[in-house]
Amino acid sequence: MMKKLGWMVISCVMVLSLMIVSCETKDTGGTVKQEDKGQTVTVGTEEEKTDKKEEIVTSSDKPQYGGTITLLMGLDVNDFLPWSLAPSAPVQMCNDWLWNGDWAKGPAGGYGSNQVGWETSTNLRDMKAYYLAENIRWEANDDGQTGNVYIKVKEGINYSYDPVSPVSQLVGGRELTADDVLWNFNMRMNDSRAHPGAYIYLFFPWMHGIYGEKIGPNEIMFTFPVGRLLDGIMFLCDGTQIFPPEIDEEYKAESTTDWQACVGAGPFMIDDYVPSNMVSVKRNPNYWDTNPVGPGKGDRLPYLDKIKYLIIQDASTQQAAFRSGKLAQLGALSIEDKNMMVRGNPEIKQAVGGLMAQPLLGMRTDRPGTPYADVRVRRAMMMATDFYEINEGLYQGLGQILTWPYWYQKGYEDLYLSLDDPDCPNEIKELYIYNPEKAKELLTQAGYPGGFKGEILMTETSVDYYSIIKDQWAKVGIELEFNIQEFGAYWGILNSYSYEEMVVAAIPPPSSWPEVAGYTGVTSSNFSKIDDEWVNEAADHMRTTAITDLKAAMRETREITKYLLPGAWVIPTPRYPTYTLWWSWLKNYSGENSVGWLAFNWSKWVWVDQDMKDAMGH
């Protein structure tokens, strides 16, 4: 079998597919033509078709099997094995987790309990459903230093079998076992070989040397430091998809660019790939899961015959593809783009999506003698930033202002500190009020009466936003220079901490809590190099509390936030709402984006009203 192997730069789990679409696209204008193999992109030369639509056919809510939908990918697949915490959507759809989001707890096409919207990544115990696992439980040990997680794997779940795929034939559609899960977890924590998905090994060295053991025919156990117990469960049970170990023997864990290597126990199987153009998946007829709610309750999933993922980086071309009906769904839209696209199109459904933001600004606070090591300078930088003017000018005043170390999200209310909360200290509130005169006073007190010059590492996509910051800070004497790098170089500098002064970067979402990589430890998320003894101890205590009481742990986290924010360690950016659109013929869909933690798997539950789709000319 031909092996297509190559070394690639590891991709950041926080640069998720929705963020990529929003922040890494270039707007050149254009349209898309669908062809037998992928797509032909015509930029700025062809008008969109405006054929008169036929009368729309209404249908029952009983799900129908069959049909094809076309979805968007912002970037190409960099590995067809699910090594990453956030593999690309086609890879996710071919594999499964031990547990993740419970579809029935969301809108579920109007039949769910609506306890969560799934519009963004959410990781709450009460919102989960078991996937490959039959049971997951954990406990702190009597030594007070360690904790155990016990995982029982379901019986009778088989890997997909595609008779035309040589790798699928290698696996033979065999049953997924506890040994497979044990191997996958041990490898994620201890595999030092270079491949794009080695995120856990690279950024969480505390997991090195931890190996689980099999304690029953279908049960395995892992022991973690007690303060890291829930982190370990999240990374493994929520963040690791299971694939057959024999595929690793064949491909040696390198960057697997052979799409036929993608064989798992998920709802679909990859059946075609055109590099930088298109990935298609077809229905796995032996998938184990069923519809949990609604008129189709008990139906074997998935309903769709096929999904095509078009790889389109240009924003205008993405929108043209949706308006023409070629894309079934499009997310991460600004309010302006959303309003423009739904105007005059009653067949387009809409929902508020997740919140998005420009990367936040961090700095090397660990270097004594530099401006960034002085809290007075950092507070001056905050006061020199007019957050409210930026929010009004860019986001129509809809953005959240206090967005570090967490932003507000449903389900995580107890850990969020709002500027309007009665117990929010004044020394925090004043940081978010534009006050250039006070900023100048603080700079003078810190020994920079005339300001200073500073450099920010960034990519091209951040230039426009930080040009606003540059103009605002110039008024207090801070002169900024931009060190603009292409993404690969930027990512390498960020992860090696080789930037000299300031950097813009993303932070973990609230759904990653109680993991606290944004302000403790050595990770790319702690880009201001925060190492505070009180914070470290408080975070350890909070994570231990979370083992038995999440609400209490959230309240402890809120107190940590009160301690962190006066230090102005990170300059936040307003986090604004985005919008998701879809055509009315896409059924059992309500705007979900991530059903669980980093789980872009909503298409396994949806179905197509083919009569309605045909009547609309799509």
Overall size of the chain counted in residues:
618
Which pLDDT value is given to residue 21? 34
DSSP string, 101-112: E-GGGS-GGGTS
pLDDT tens digit sequence for 167-219: 999 999 999 999 999 999 999 999 988 776 677 888 889 999 999 999 999 99
Q: How does 291-300 read in b/e, with b if 16+ C-beta sit within 10 Å?
A: bbbbebeebe
Which pLDDT value is given to residue 233? 97
What's 432's DSSP letter? G
Determine the Cα–Cα distance for residues 292 and 280; give it in Å rounded to an integer: 26
Which amino acid, one-letter code, is at 429? Answer: K
Residue 537 has pLDDT above 80, yes or no: yes
The residue behind tokens 């205008």 is: 316
Q: Which two tokens stand for residue 221?
A: 């156990």
Say if residues 263 and 245 touch (Cβ distance below 8 Å).
no
Average pLDDT value for residue range 407-413: 94
Which pLDDT value is given to residue 253? 62
Q: Is the dihedral of CA 224, 229, 233, 236 positive or negative?
A: negative
Q: Which two tokens stand for residue 341?
A: 């696209």
Which pLDDT value is given to residue 10? 32
Determine the Cα–Cα distance for residues 607 and 149; give it in Å rounded to an integer: 37
pLDDT tens digit sequence for 209-251: 999 999 999 999 999 999 999 999 999 999 999 999 999 988 8
Spell out the alpha helix ranges (H) of 396-546. Answer: 426-429, 436-445, 463-474, 487-495, 533-546
* Of residues 441, 331, 454, 310, the one with CA closest to residue 383: 441
436-445 helix and 375-383 helix, angle to the nearest 10 degrees: 170
Cβ-Cβ contacts under 8 Å for 173 (sequence gap 6 or more): 158, 159, 160, 161, 286
The structural domains of the chain, with segments of one domain joined by +, span 5-356+579-615, 360-567
CATH classification (class only), 5-356+579-615 = alpha beta
Determine the Cα–Cα distance for residues 235 and 519; give it in Å rounded to an integer: 18
Which pLDDT value is given to residue 254? 59
What pTM does this model have? Answer: 0.86
pLDDT tens digit sequence for 133-159: 999 999 999 999 999 999 999 999 999
CA-angle at 243, arms to 241 and 249, nearest 5°? 135
Query: With left for phi above 0 and alpha for psi between -120 and 50, is residue 301 left, alpha or beta?
Result: beta
Say if residues 105 and 116 touch (Cβ distance below 8 Å).
yes
pLDDT class of 252 with cuts at 50, 70, 90:
confident
Which pLDDT value is given to residue 255? 57
The residue behind tokens 């997991």 is: 207
Phi, psi angle pair for 351, to nearest 5°:
-155, 155
Average pLDDT value for residue range 297-323: 97
Contacts by 174-177 with C-beta closer than 8 Å and gap 24+?
Answer: 174/244, 176/132, 176/242, 176/244, 176/265, 177/153, 177/218
Q: Across 435-501, where does the E strand assignment appear? A: 452-458, 478-484
What's 414's DSSP letter? G
Residue 522 has pLDDT above 80, yes or no: yes
Determine the Cα–Cα distance for residues 371 and 484; give it in Å rounded to an integer: 22
Phi, psi angle pair for 557, to nearest 5°:
-65, -40
pLDDT class of 19 with cuts at 50, 70, 90:
very low
The residue behind tokens 């570090």 is: 404
Which pLDDT value is given to residue 193? 83
N-terminal to C-terminal alpha carbon distance within the chain: 39
Q: Across 39-85, where does the E strand assignment appear? A: 39-42, 68-73
The residue behind tokens 């500098």 is: 493
Residue 11 has pLDDT above 70, yes or no: no
Which pLDDT value is given to residue 256? 79
Lowest-confidence range among 7-16, 361-370, 466-475, 542-551? 7-16
pLDDT class of 48 with cuts at 50, 70, 90:
very low
pLDDT tens digit sequence for 57-116: 444 689 999 999 999 998 999 899 999 888 999 999 999 999 999 999 999 999 999 999
Which pLDDT value is given to residue 22? 35
Which pLDDT value is given to residue 199? 78
Query: With left for phi above 0 and alpha for psi between -120 and 50, is residue 568 left, alpha or beta?
Result: left
Determine the Cα–Cα distance for residues 547 and 86; give it in Å rounded to an integer: 25
CA 584 to chain centre: 26
pLDDT tens digit sequence for 436-486: 999 999 999 999 999 999 999 999 999 999 999 999 999 999 999 999 999
* Of residues 146, 160, 491, 119, the one with CA closest to residue 332: 119
Determine the Cα–Cα distance for residues 272 and 279; give it in Å rounded to an integer: 6
pLDDT class of 50 with cuts at 50, 70, 90:
very low
What is the chain's mean pLDDT, rounded? 90
Lowest-confidence range among 51-60, 300-309, 459-468, 509-518? 51-60
Which amino acid, one-letter code, is at 502? Answer: M
Average pLDDT value for residue range 345-367: 96
pLDDT class of 324 with cuts at 50, 70, 90:
very high
Q: Which residues pair with 156 in a beta bridge?
A: none
Determine the Cα–Cα distance for residues 429 and 433; give it in Å rounded to an integer: 7
What is the fold, at CATH topology level, of the domain defined by 360-567? Dipeptide-binding Protein; domain 3 (3.10.105)
Counting Cβ atoms within 10 Å, is residue 568 exposed (0-12), middle (13-18) or buried (19+)?
A: buried
Which pLDDT value is given to residue 520? 94
